[in-house]
Structure 1
């Protein structure tokens, strides 16, 4: 029976977490959001979002806050495509709201960006300087023929020019699509062709894992023969470290030749609230990536308000979201949200262990970071690097708030994060949202919520989520089912670029009669009505009729002191239909050449597998006991930190691997496969 079989209406609740962390009194006394905001929003959602939108600068006011055309069945049985509009009639400029208005209000000297390059180079960019740089880039883009509605693909690392280019595209009413700088030429080409981009912005190279890597060749291969591309704009990042880059005269232009020499003043135009702002692609873990379209007024309203509310943004904060700028988290909580609120933030180009594993601690101390927002996979990695806690000598006392994003965080990782980086005092904002929603939908709110390790708590003010069965009926507290959004916010993606029917079919068709947006995730209620996300429905494992969450089994494994991280998948089993296979990264490991050989991992498996199987059976029940426990050096993850469990299932069942273009490290599956192949038989 496939893991996504919908015949069973609920997901079995296996794991119960009882630790609670009430909001600190001192934090509650000064928090931006109070409990009254929920009742206010529930009473009149449109009025609530109108107040949130009023935090921005509008050139023309809107006449209608929101409108919604739901899915309907036509005479021929065909379902219509839903359509939403927010702040109709209103006009604004997104970049002006993120930069110019702070300068105009007298905050031009405030630092907008502290940039830390992987090699150690640093820049501090004020809002006044950012305004000049964005204006110059906007003028340069217009000189290259880019105007309203044109698409610009940005293929850059985490450097200031990436944010400057993004804001410049928004400033002139064009549409940007950011692509992770480590993606292959094939993945980049798909996005260039799908958007019909006129301009690609890239770099000569980038610094990655301690060395300079040329990327211009990937960019050239991606645009070769693409008729829509008129220019490739190249930032000089690695210079003499990557000297042999190809150049196409007439098409390729240097950033320093056209942007640095452009006028510093640009008169920005206001655009309608529903003007498309960006296209962001889903990872493509199942099928062709979807280009989700986000618009200007509604997206910026929710991005700005939710950043201010969730991260309790205050003057003097130094905020750091560790996401790559191509990830939706960075769009909302590293570009548009923080900058619209006039925040000072850190951006870091490199990997967390370049040149040493404490690089993030060093950066936190150097800039006095107060808010640190990162992915559970990095937290679990830090746990394996520092099993005894943060090393002495690093001062992390500036941190007052922590956040997590990506997959649900395992409770033990949550507790480690809270005690080690948060000093046992900083609240953790465990956010649940998606590329599709554009901004956080569920999260505990600092100063209000009682924190529960591993729980996303409940929907934020102005939004609403439910857990339903296969018929769309809410399941009782204590049970699990499908996570749906019954009241989306203004940041929700409006469509899939060039394929509105796919938007309908992917998100709305399953529960169209109820009008629910289907997230694709499973979740459970606890007795208080708080929500625990259980991962993708497609990742649910069906063992002898029991639908089990991978997240809960992974969390039980991570709770064992010998386990650093785990990825759990369902594999084919003749007796039970599916069985559980657990891929485990040990909490500590030897360093050296022996770890490169499968025999090292097979020996570790022989030592630990039965111990860990018994641990899971004792922690959450015999039904969840893995059939296979495989010790591995790493797990296949997307750049956003999500484990690609599908690839682990492919390896276990001996199937060809599917799309791997979104992997952070494309060598990981082959190394895992070598360990599985070297194993004579499954552990029993």
Structure 2
């Protein structure tokens, strides 16, 4: 079975690459050298002939092994546990630091930090190399050896990049942990990974308020007794308790000018264990290897985003989510500058994100749909006043776009000249599955096609690839960057991704590819709503509701219905509570776009929607709260968007054409 290798065509594009994008494109240059004029043909070769494609891509992307590999891929233990680049030697630090520090890029900015308190710092590649070596030597001094796990509980400061790479330099396994977690969530990850060292900071800031981190670690260590040492970055200057013989300040380690080179590692040696949260069960510890993660990051950033040495990449991305490590590896491998943005895009001012673009000459700026909606509501949809002439593209991941927000970013902010590099995948795949490309046509709020080397399909209920109907997003081959398994729980790994169809990775997302080759992701499979025999993703309905400019945010769920099996309930946040659309208004909007049978049975207005701390709407948690069911793991919940904002079914009082929380003031 093969995927359909569909790519968006020139039929009905919203954006087309200009000669500027095409002449700059690393992908177009590679296609010319390889003898391809059509992305479909190249993609077909990338999955049909991996023995040609991967060595060619490694050479083109300048991924170098310290010892050449002997075998591209070994699937003797099954495709689920494929081993790549067998017999070789590598370390990501060679590509991300050493390759640049000793050359003409040595004095170029590698990392820029923008704090929400107004602080700004930067490290050049040479300074980054010195700090990575210093902290790597310090970890060795603490007895950390290859294979030991080192947890990072850090804000997005330059020291987080240094810590990540210092661990990799000596072969220690990084355990990135989201800086917004409480002590229980931190303890669970420390205990599950068996971390021996935690690197944290005294505190971070959120919306200008100081939030202590070290005390959270201290409390977590009451349960995670395997930890031997804690390193503390003086980030805010606040005083924190230090336990003798266990705790040391980051700046207490001195530079050892006799530091040895980065440890040569087996390409399949773990680089990191990064945890994802679910609504049930313990978090999943996704294991990624040095060579696999580097290769996947380079494919995605190099060929889809066209990342090059002259780029400055800005994104609000915590180190505990996959985007943070992906920025480090994908951005620094190409010698670009990465801009770490602490906090939120609209604090301390509504123009903060755009001011950062202007101040740092950002060329690719990441922005999530949730952030776009926030900025639209705050600015009234006005264009930024900052100078954005350095930008060549926006990037986005994590959730589906609604049409009005996408149009605002494309037309109002980008003046209809900048592509929006929509990018979707997951922690488990090491990066993206689908993306937009700087060298391909783009439709509105969707994806141009699969990433190279990934045989992607939408499967119907029989497991057959389909076009034009909603199905399961699946991968029919293996690729460098896919998870090496779950830490200490490979049975769960197999059950999660490989148990539906033999030899097929079923990702857990609903998707559709249209007749023109453009792809859309409609939400998680377990968020699927089945109405009148049709499977519908919540994003499809939410997009239709958000077409009404009086709605700023919405979440749609399916709940049991004795007559139809399921009915649709929408939880909406209005721009102005005094001017909320009626249910009839929204029915008309939805039915006009996707059909009368798919309209919500109930519209419930709330003050806020529960979000994860990286901005994703927690639909399954909303459904559980509404139905009075167990809420599951809430460690990822942003405390500023409390679950109490969602009423239970029993709390709802009918009020004519729509339903409202009985006492809205108690819900958020």
Cα separation, 2, equivalents of 1:629 and 1:147: 56
519-528 vs 612-621, which deviates more?
A: 612-621
Q: CA deviation at 1:537?
A: 0.8
Cα separation, 1, equivalents of 2:435 and 2:539: 18
Pick closer, same or farther for the CA change 1:146–1:652 going to 2, 3 Å. Answer: same
State the partner residue of 1:226.
224
State the partner residue of 2:645.
671
State the partner residue of 1:11.
none
Structure 1: stretches of 5+ with no match in the other structure:
1-16, 72-80, 590-600
Cα separation, 1, equivalents of 2:335 and 2:546: 38
State the partner residue of 1:385.
378
Cα separation, 1, equivalents of 2:179 and 2:200: 8
State the partner residue of 1:451.
442
Q: How does 1:99-114 map to 2 (within 5 A)?
A: 99-114=97-112
2:365 counterpart (350, 364, 372): 372
Instruction: Supply the RMSD in Å over aligned alpha carbons.
Output: 2.1
State the partner residue of 2:399.
407
1:541 counterpart (523, 529, 551): 529
Using CA pairs under 8 Å that are at least 6 residues apart, name the structure with larger relative contact order, 1 or 2: 1
Whether 2:188 is the aligned partner of 1:190: answer: yes
State the partner residue of 1:41.
46
Whether 2:334 is the aligned partner of 1:325: answer: no
SS in structure 1 of the partner of residue 647 of structure 2: helix
Q: CA deviation at 1:666?
A: 5.8
State the partner residue of 2:87.
89
State the partner residue of 1:469.
460
Pick closer, same or farther for the CA change 1:226–1:262 going to 2, 3 Å. Answer: farther
Whether 2:164 is the aligned partner of 1:169: answer: no
SS in structure 2 of the partner of residue 107 of structure 1: coil
SS in structure 1 of the partner of residue 102 of structure 2: helix
Aligned length: 635
Q: CA deviation at 1:566?
A: 1.4
Whether 2:557 is the aligned partner of 1:569: answer: yes
Cα separation, 1, equivalents of 2:48 and 2:507: 25
Q: CA deviation at 1:70?
A: 6.5
Deviation per residue, 1:453-487 (Å, 9 max, x gap): 12223212221101112331122x21121110012
Cα separation, 2, equivalents of 1:335 and 1:156: 14
State the partner residue of 1:160.
158
Contact 1:579 1:627 in 2 (8 A): yes
Pick closer, same or farther for the CA change 1:262–1:565 going to 2, 3 Å. Answer: farther
Cα separation, 2, equivalents of 1:284 and 1:549: 19
State the partner residue of 2:57.
52
1:416 counterpart (408, 421, 433): 408
451-460 vs 142-151, which deviates more?
A: 451-460
Cα separation, 1, equivalents of 2:77 and 2:457: 18
Cα separation, 2, equivalents of 1:667 and 1:338: 32
State the partner residue of 2:597.
623
State the partner residue of 1:613.
587
Contact 1:114 1:347 in 2 (8 A): yes
Deviation per residue, 1:183-232 (Å, 9 max, x gap): 11111111000000000111111111111111212111111143311011
Cα separation, 1, equivalents of 2:261 and 2:308: 30
Cα separation, 1, equivalents of 2:125 and 2:359: 21
Whether 2:502 is the aligned partner of 1:524: answer: no
Cα separation, 1, equivalents of 2:647 and 2:173: 40
Contact 2:304 2:451 in 1 (8 A): no
Contact 1:510 1:518 in 2 (8 A): yes
Whether 2:388 is the aligned partner of 1:396: answer: yes
State the partner residue of 1:65.
72
283-292 vs 228-237, which deviates more?
A: 283-292
SS in structure 1 of the partner of residue 474 of structure 2: strand
Pick closer, same or farther for the CA change 1:540–1:681 going to 2, 3 Å. Answer: farther
Deviation per residue, 1:599-640 (Å, 9 max, x gap): xx5x655x5333223321222211111111122232212233
SS in structure 1 of the partner of residue 424 of structure 2: coil
State the partner residue of 1:315.
309
Q: How does 1:296-311 map to 2 (within 5 A)?
A: 296-311=290-305
Cα separation, 2, equivalents of 1:225 and 1:70: 36
116-125 vs 629-638, which deviates more?
A: 629-638
1:556 counterpart (544, 557, 561): 544
Contact 2:470 2:536 in 1 (8 A): no
Pick closer, same or farther for the CA change 1:653–1:496 going to 2, 3 Å. Answer: same
Contact 1:572 1:653 in 2 (8 A): no
SS in structure 1 of the partner of residue 104 of structure 2: helix
Contact 1:156 1:202 in 2 (8 A): yes
Q: CA deviation at 1:677?
A: 2.9
State the partner residue of 2:497.
507
Cα separation, 2, equivalents of 1:459 and 1:328: 19
Q: CA deviation at 1:42?
A: 4.4
Q: CA deviation at 1:30?
A: 2.3
Deviation per residue, 1:535-570 (Å, 9 max, x gap): 111001122433221010011111222122211111
Q: CA deviation at 1:266?
A: 4.0
SS in structure 2 of the partner of residue 565 of structure 1: strand
